[in-house]
Amino acid sequence: MPIIVNLDVMMAKRKMSLNELSEKVGLTLSNLSILKTGKAKAIRFSTLETICKVLDCQPADILEFVND
């Protein structure tokens, strides 16, 4: 898949656990885990916006396009 999810990298930079991010974003652990592992097929802009606010980052810090 040419879209790489770097959510774990941003969480590590912010020293935030999956549990903590889940609580602050309002997503279940399972949905956040699916996103973190790159198994998600889509993400709502509102969810991406909330994650970026909580992690104080830009969408490009979380999602990366790799051209094969």
DSSP 3-state assignment of 25? helix
Give which of 56, 50, 62 is closest to 23, Cα–Cα.
50
One digit per residue, pLDDT tens: the chain, 68 residues?
689 999 999 999 999 999 999 999 999 999 999 999 999 999 999 999 999 999 999 999 999 999 87
Domains of the chain, earliest start first: 3-65 (1.10.260.40)
Compute the distance between CA of residue 35 and CA of residue 18 in angstroms, rounded to an integer: 11
pTM: 0.91
